[in-house]
Chains A and B, each alone.
Chain A
């Protein structure tokens, strides 16, 4: 049977410069003049039905004097990947923008402009994204010529927000410092009366230069940094990083370690989802649910601490396997805890299901239509609450998920309640998975040591379904086992622009609720 990638190469026969496979992923190198037509075809063709998963750049200096732009598409059914690449050689700093027909590319292209100084020609909005107005002109930190350890100087400058003007229209500015104990970010609402006409999210206050920091490290020592990209997704990021590096090093992770990785990932999903269900209720002043969920979440985190010595499961992942093993007593303790929490949570769930005033606030609030979600390539529970059937644990199984058969939670409504119900279903599913792993897991080694060194220029991509959604890592090896480039994509980076659309028409007092139902990471977005 013809694969979708073959259909693509057939369609553009003679125009593709080079086709190869990189660790199983088909890669086509094309001329930049043909890029628009090709991406348009992948996105719009009924059979291909491709959604842009990642768009990133690599500076190949000093080995090769060129910039490479890479476009990762997930094709129909969310199972197959393909990568398109274009090269910019010499003084060429311009590449064609695809944002006008693939909306998901919008922030990626602005990010590339800021970090590399490459300009997306035809982009409708080329304001700065990562670089705040006080960054000096010409600062592009991910260029290889830019020193990693020189702190930026400051300049005067002003950011111009998108403006709506007219009688009765006013602006509400929120942040970067918010009222709750949350991370910094700025939201600018344009409002006429009660409903929101426009929201502009202005982030990157927490930009710490993570990708540049990775480039100073060896492949085997990046795990601690990946754990600290977004604290609530410690396991997700560490696992995605490890999987990418293991592909590069050609490591086959032992089965027991694969199972343990699933356990830790599900534990992380559990404590975050439990907290979120309570927090969503708290934002409509239903404090009782918040108190119960907070209590259950705390139990899970104390359990994490007892099992691994870290409430956030830090230090459990390692390149080649896991650093922590669980003995049968610990598994018994873990499942015993789940057996007390599950009926406890189910009781609360029944209270939530019939509470009319709660459901009245949650239903039809923050509506995200299926079409909008697809256009912007939504991820995680946001996508699944808007009818998209995408969950990497099922679509592209990593770790031991190919042995586990995950049931994907999905709702069609696309409102806050649907996003909460996806989480509730996933809590039960995570508990089921952990129980199943306990009965399936067999004794064995939990770690293998790397023996080979990857060739400079070799790269690998990995994807992990963290609790928030799809986490992507692109790791390219440099000389002597160093990292040449590490692109990190937290699902927040994709879902933040989408929240701008989900709040339209809602009233400002509902924004905290909608925001909570998305519960995106600022740190993972800002990097």
Chain B
């Protein structure tokens, strides 16, 4: 027990220790319509991640948001275990043939009002998997998309910036 407390005390606060602009990505600018829809969730936004065929790098970056360095909860963003509890769906990957109906089900079960965030190049335009027999198209072919966060994958800092912009005027 003593060792654990000592370890915790020795470790300084790491939250916020990340470069804000390490890549050359342009900051995401959300549309006025998306911002209007996000108004009820300004102080608290519960997101649910749905993977429809990504390579799992986007999932790793969303998981990184929850670590003590990015600590997304300090901005009132919470990751829910079920789409029924979510305000926003974060969708990654091109929509595969096998995941198409699961995605539509998830969209239906998420209560209104809701936002849909397409995260990563694959979700936005199928990326490198474009045209394949197994891929039915980008996310907005199946459900309406409000926010697009490009990148392969976008860095956690870039995702934070987009979520921040979404909830500002």
Contact = CB atoms under 8 A, between A and B. Distances in A.
Interface in B28-63: 49-63
Interface in A117-136: 132, 134-135
Interface string A202-230: 00111111101100000000001100111
Contacts of B23: 305, 309
Interface in B138-167: 152-153, 155
Nearest to A305: B22
B107 to A, nearest CB: 12
Interface of A: 132, 134-135, 141, 146-152, 154, 176-177, 179-184, 204-210, 212-213, 224-225, 228-232, 234, 288, 291-292, 294-295, 297-298, 301-302, 305-306, 309, 311-312, 314, 347-348, 350-351, 521-523
B93 A206 contact: yes
Contact of A176 (B83, B99, B137): B99
Nearest to A314: B152
Contacts of B131: 148-149
25 contacts: A149-B131, A149-B133, A182-B51, A183-B54, A184-B102, A204-B98, A206-B51, A206-B93, A206-B98, A209-B134, A209-B135, A213-B129, A231-B58, A234-B57, A288-B7, A294-B64, A294-B67, A294-B69, A295-B14, A298-B18, A298-B67, A302-B22, A305-B23, A351-B3, A351-B7
A493 to B, nearest CB: 15
Contacts of B64: 294, 298, 301
A176 B59 contact: no
A231 B7 contact: no
Interface of B: 3-4, 7-8, 11, 14, 18-19, 22-23, 49-64, 66-70, 79, 81-83, 93-94, 96-99, 101-102, 106, 127-129, 131-137, 152-153, 155
Nearest to B3: A351
Nearest to A180: B81
A225 B128 contact: yes
B18 A181 contact: no
B74 to A, nearest CB: 14
A179 B98 contact: no
Nearest to A309: B23
Given A288-B8, A312-B153, A205 B56 contact: no
B69 A228 contact: no
A176 B96 contact: no
B134 A152 contact: yes
9 tightest A-B CB contacts, nearest first: A231-B57, A294-B67, A209-B134, A179-B81, A209-B132, A231-B55, A228-B55, A149-B131, A231-B56
Given A181-B79, A295-B14, A298-B67, A228 B127 contact: yes
Given A148-B132, A152-B134, A294-B67, A312 B98 contact: no
Contacts of A135: 97
